[in-house]
Amino acid sequence: MKRKGLLLNDFYTLKDQYFTYGKVMLALMVLACLINISSELTELSEVAYLMSPFAIFAMSMMMTLFTYEEKSGFMKYAFTTPVTRKSYLQEKYLFSLFNTTAGILVGIVFLLMYALFHKYVPTVQDISWMLLFSGGEFLVSMVMSIWVIALNMKFGIAKARSILLIAMVAVVIVGTVSVPASSLTAANSFPGMQWILIAFLFLFVAATVWMFCMSFRWTERKEL
């Protein structure tokens, strides 16, 4: 019951943001439809990128929420109420799950509407691909949310944002350099790079699981 109160607080806190983002996203999507109005759609995967903003938006809402909470000092108040620190953290993960799921669903709906706008009927293969892509986006968005929540509990939202920014830049640089080098057919491929990338992926997954587990300890020990 206590988590319902926290969920409601989070929803009310972000309500205006949802409306603002919704209007912006709607405008961007209308623009996307109009810009590509004359082009023919042959496969849904051609416009996969149109789903991404919704998943990113869902993850960024967690950052916005923590920024607002830090500004208002809500966590300090919440820990004086009959809400345990563990419940507080569990609710944050639950809220990020709702956010991410909603973001992905809206992305799917938009993609289908985009297809219909271009008089394209999605095939079974398109739907399968879309679900696979959505699953991947869901995982990425949830992983990002775990990092946001955990780092916020440890360092506060300002430092968490900086750390995440550095991490994302590092991933982009590493990906830009290493993905071509890992390709078996590319002229500049590096044979061992695939294994390095796989090892990196394992490390990243392990780090994410560790962050998730440690976030509960950090929350218990957080001083306000």
The least CB distance from residue 61 to another protein, in Å, is 14
The least CB distance from residue 95 to another protein, in Å, is 14
Calpha distance 87→17 (Å, rounded): 25
Which of 82/191 has CB closer to another protein?
82
Distances (CA, A) of 177 to 48, 172, 194: 23, 9, 12
Which of 51/65 has CB closer to another protein?
65
The least CB distance from residue 221 to another protein, in Å, is 7
The least CB distance from residue 158 to another protein, in Å, is 17
Which residues here bind another protein, judged by CB under 8 A? 1-2, 4-6, 8-9, 12-13, 15-16, 68-69, 71-74, 76-77, 79-85, 220-221, 223-224
Which of 38/80 has CB closer to another protein?
80
Residue 119, Ramachandran bin (φ over 0: left; ψ between -120 and 50: alpha; else beta): left
Calpha distance 17→186 (Å, rounded): 45
Which of 89/142 has CB closer to another protein?
89
Which distant-in-sequence residues (6+ apart) come within 8 Å of 206 by Cβ?
none
The least CB distance from residue 70 to another protein, in Å, is 11
- What torsion do the CA atoms of 216, 220, 221, 223 make, to the nearest 10 degrees? 120
The least CB distance from residue 7 to another protein, in Å, is 8
Which of 11/212 has CB closer to another protein?
11
